[in-house]
Amino acid sequence: MTRLIIGAMVRAIGAYPSGWRHPGAHRDPRGDAAVLRRAAEVAEAARLDYLFFGDWLATGHDLEFRDPYLVARIDPISAVTYLAGITSRIGLIATANTTYADPYTLARATASIDLLSGGRAGLNLVTGAEPRAAGNHGRDHHQANDTRYDRAVEFEFVLRRLWDSFEDDAIVADAASGVYLDPSRLHATDFHGAHLSVTGPLNVARPVQGHLPIVHAGTSPRSRLFAAQNADLALVAVSGLEHGIAIREELRALAFESGRDDRTLKVIAPVLPIVGETREHAQAIADELSELLQIAEDWPDGPPEAFPANRSLAQLSVLLGVDVSGLSPDRAVTPSLVAQFSAAGQELVEIVAERTGRSPAGERPSTLRHLVVAASVNASMVVGTAAEIAEEFQTWAEAGAVDGFNVLSAVQPAQFEAFALGVVPELQRRGVFPTEYEGSTLREHLGLPRPDNVHVAHGDVRLQPVTGRDGSRRRAVERSARHP
């Protein structure tokens, strides 16, 4: 039986753009501490594998409309440090941007969290996609994609060497002889690359897990290559079951061709479930979230300057192949109107019907607003009862499309708790998720081995060129020391 990995991607005011407007939703970031504490308690009681904290290194008025959860949020390293003290078993994954972070400082902080939490820390490495972050870090411009990934490869290599500065038994602490440290088991990093230069050693003992599990998300070919060669968890958004199977096979093949054990790469898909007591109840929640989401036509004199361009009837018209820009956003989508839509437009009508229960021929037809929302909100939504969502998860796992899911909650705390208290027990009943923690570290939760120390396993390793499937030569780390 397939054992799913299930983690929660925590967004304190909800992951859906209008989730904070839903009745009873948390909406004030000054109260995030209480929400995070409650989420951690619920998640650990449900035996979730980890809590995942993303990051964004800038803010602005545009985020209010596009992704409100990014406007003001707790630093992820601070969040996992806070939660490490009030939890005992669940994994805690923080995000760091390799474009702007200092590897020694990050290695020190993350090794410390892993030691203090008993081996429950993980690290999501990103290269950044926010141009405003450059100015916030004293840079004139945001680096190009390839340059960022060249630095990320060096960063990941250095990070592991820093974590491995101390061998596990380097601290002798022999009171009788007066010997505290075996200096032969303390190793310098001594790395001097094109983007980074780090001497080391790190002044923190080796993490409980040896290396924290590394996570990476992205869609570009370079991102997938980085994930396949360097990550333990690859977060990949997929459009459907067949797409998921193809992506997972591609990533596993890239991992194998890079010289690592491809079974150690876990492919995780983000998903936003809307959980209801009945299917109709779940669809009503999704429908209300759609109604609460503002679109450009809600402002008679035009939307604010920072409003997303894709959330409008004008942009919808391009997708539908029919000009609906002069119509009311609450105009019903009738069968005669649908008959004029492009294939993409008709598919959009089907998505709305599946999510909200509204159909052109039904008593409650969808409106143009529903189509705008479905087209502009990029979320892999699954709407239904706890049993229906659990069945969908199991189907994906048994088809080989994913190793697990990163679960987002549209509304905090209601939808997070509906998933943890409703869907998770269904997954446990089906035998695809454990009823108790089977290990004490995050690596054990994820089914990952503890790696050997790179300084001593099969000899020291160097940064070696690796050829990707696209024929390009990339700099990556020799894997033989990592997965014996």
149 is in an annotated binding site: yes
* The pLDDT of residue 462: 57
Does the bond joining 201 to the residue before it have cis omega, within 30 degrees of 0? yes
CA pair distance 459, 67, nearest whole angstrom: 47
Element (H, E) at 243: helix 241-257
Read off the tokens for 291. 């109604």
Confidence of residue 367 (pLDDT cuts 50, 70, 90): very high
Confidence of residue 482 (pLDDT cuts 50, 70, 90): very low
**pLDDT at residue 466 greater than cutoff 50:** no
**pLDDT at residue 277 greater than cutoff 60:** yes
89 neighbors 110 (Cβ within 8 angstroms): no
Domain 5-274+382-477: give its CATH superfamily. Luciferase-like domain (3.20.20.30)
Read off the tokens for 269. 């898909």
169 is in an annotated binding site: no
Q: What are 148-186's pLDDT values in tens digits?
A: 999 999 999 999 999 999 999 999 999 999 999 999 999
Confidence of residue 468 (pLDDT cuts 50, 70, 90): very low
When mean pLDDT is compared over 36-40, 239-243, 303-307, 325-329, the highest value belongs to 36-40
* The pLDDT of residue 382: 97
CA pair distance 76, 113, nearest whole angstrom: 12
Element (H, E) at 136: helix 132-136
187 neighbors 461 (Cβ within 8 angstroms): no
If phi over 0 gives left and psi between -120 and 50 gives alpha, with beta otherwise, what is residue 138?
Answer: left
Identity of the amino acid at 341: F
* The pLDDT of residue 239: 87
Element (H, E) at 140: none
CA pair distance 217, 227, nearest whole angstrom: 7
88 is in an annotated binding site: no
Q: What is the mean pLDDT of residues 273-301?
A: 97
* The pLDDT of residue 378: 85
**pLDDT at residue 251 greater than cutoff 70:** yes
What mean pLDDT is reported for the chain?
92
Q: Taking the CA atoms of 99, 101, 103 and 109 in sequence, report the sign of the dihedral they define.
A: negative
* The pLDDT of residue 178: 97
Burial of 109 (C-beta count, 10 Å sphere; 0-12/13-18/19+): buried
At CA 275, angle to CA 333 and CA 4, rounded to 5?
Answer: 120
Sorted by where each begins, the domain ranges of the chain are 5-274+382-477, 294-376
Q: What is the mean pLDDT of residues 37-54?
A: 98
CA pair distance 69, 63, nearest whole angstrom: 8
**pLDDT at residue 232 greater than cutoff 90:** yes
**pLDDT at residue 247 greater than cutoff 80:** yes
Q: What are 399-448's pLDDT values in tens digits?
A: 999 999 999 999 999 999 999 999 999 999 999 999 999 999 999 999 99
Read off the tokens for 203. 């002044």
Q: What are 182-213's pLDDT values in tens digits?
A: 999 999 999 999 999 999 999 999 999 999 99
* The pLDDT of residue 336: 96
* The pLDDT of residue 2: 85
Q: What is the residue whose two structure tokens read 């018209």?
A: 317
Q: What are 88-99's pLDDT values in tens digits?
A: 999 999 999 999
**pLDDT at residue 449 greater than cutoff 50:** yes
